[in-house]
Structure 1
Amino acid sequence: MIPRKLFTALLLLLLFCSTNAQTIEKETDSLIAAEFNDPNGPGGVFIVSHKGKTIYRKAFGKANLELNVNMTPENVFQIGSMTKQFTSVAILMLEQQGKLNVSDPVSKYIKDYPSGDKITIHHLLTHTSGIKDFTKMKALSTIAQKEMKPEMMVGFFKNEAADFAPGEKFEYNNSGYVVLGYIIELVSGQTYEDFIKKNIFEKAGMTHSYYANDRQLIPNRAYGYHQKEHGFVNKTMISFSVPFSSGSLMSTVDDMLKWQLALTQNTLLNQTETKKAFQKYTLNNGEEFTYGYGWHLKEINGIPDREHGGSIFGFKSMGVYIPGKDIYVIGFSNCDCHSPTEITRNIANTVLKTVKE
Structure 2
Amino acid sequence: MLGLTLGLIWAAAGMVDATFANRVEAIAVERELPGMAVVVMDADRVVYAEGFGVADLSTEEPVTADTVFQLGSISKQFLAAFVVDLEDAGRLSLDAPLRRHLSDFDQFPADLRLHDLLDHTSGIREPLFEPDFAEGIEDLERSTAEMLFLLRRLPTDFPPGERWSYSNANYLLLAQLVEWMTGMRYEQALAERFFEPLGLSSLGPCPSVPEGADEALGYRMGRDGPELAPLENMDWLRGDGGLCGSARDVARWLRALDSGEALSDRARDRLWQRRTLPDGTRLDYANGFSLLPFGERAKFAHNGATPGFSASAALYPFDDLVIVVLSNLGDVRVDAVERELARRLFLEPPPDYRAVPIEPIGIDAWTGDYDFGAFPGSFVREDGALHVHMPAPAPSARLRYIGDRTFVAESDPDVLQFRFEYRPEGRRVRMRMAGMLWYGDD
TM-score, normalised relative to structure 2? 0.72
Find runs of 4+ consecutive structure 1 residues off by over 6 angstroms.
Answer: none
CA distance in 2, matches of 1:311, 1:57: 22
Deviations 1:229-276 (A, max 9, x none): 133221211110111111100011111122122212222321111111
Question: What are the equivalent positions in structure 2 for 1:1-16 lying under 5 Å apart?
Answer: none
Deviations 1:286-319 (A, max 9, x none): 3211011110002123111111000012101001
The structure in which a higher percent of residues are strand is 2
Deviation, structure 1 residue 203: 1.5
Structure 2 unaligned segments of length 5 or more: list them: 349-442
State the match for 1:73 in structure 2: 65
Deviation, structure 1 residue 35: 3.3
Instruction: Select which of 221, 245, 253 maps to 1:251.
Output: 245
Amino-acid identity (%): 23
State the match for 1:3 in structure 2: none
Deviations 1:142-200 (A, max 9, x none): 31224555554333133232121111111111110000000000011111111011111
State the match for 1:105 in structure 2: 97
Amino acid at match of 2:234: F
Instruction: Select which of 318, 326, 334 maps to 2:312.
Output: 318
Q: Contact 2:33/2:328 (CA < 8 Å) preserved in 1? A: no
Q: Contact 1:253/1:330 (CA < 8 Å) preserved in 2? A: yes
State the match for 1:4 in structure 2: none
Count of residues in correspondence between the two structures: 340
Question: CA 1:120–1:70 in 2, change beyond 3 Å: closer, same or farther?
Answer: same
State the match for 2:434 in structure 1: none
Task: For residue 301 of structure 2, give the secondary structure of its aligned residue in structure 1.
Answer: strand
Amino acid at match of 2:72: G
Q: Contact 1:208/1:255 (CA < 8 Å) preserved in 2? A: yes
State the match for 2:48 in structure 1: 56
Q: Contact 1:222/1:334 (CA < 8 Å) preserved in 2? A: yes
Amino acid at match of 1:138: P
Question: CA 1:43–1:218 in 2, change beyond 3 Å: closer, same or farther?
Answer: same
Question: What are the equivalent positions in structure 2 for 1:129-144 lying under 5 Å apart?
Answer: 129-144=122-137
Q: Contact 1:40/1:62 (CA < 8 Å) preserved in 2? A: no
Instruction: Select which of 91, 107, 125 maps to 2:83.
Output: 91
Q: Contact 1:62/1:69 (CA < 8 Å) preserved in 2? A: yes
Question: CA 1:118–1:220 in 2, change beyond 3 Å: closer, same or farther?
Answer: same
Question: What are the equivalent positions in structure 2 for 1:205-220 lying under 5 Å apart?
Answer: 205-215=199-209, 217-220=211-214
Deviation, structure 1 residue 26: 4.1
Question: CA 1:264–1:39 in 2, change beyond 3 Å: closer, same or farther?
Answer: closer
CA distance in 2, matches of 1:101, 1:321: 26
- Root-mean-square deviation (CA), in Å? 2.2
Deviations 1:67-91 (A, max 9, x none): 1222222210010000001010110
State the match for 1:6 in structure 2: none
The structure in which a higher percent of residues are helix is 1
State the match for 1:278 in structure 2: 272
Q: Contact 2:49/2:248 (CA < 8 Å) preserved in 1? A: no
Deviations 1:19-77 (A, max 9, x none): 74422444433543443107996110001111221111111111110112222222100
Q: Contact 2:10/2:16 (CA < 8 Å) preserved in 1? A: no
State the match for 1:173 in structure 2: 167
Question: CA 1:51–1:18 in 2, change beyond 3 Å: closer, same or farther?
Answer: closer
RCO higher in structure (CA 8 A, sep ≥6): 1
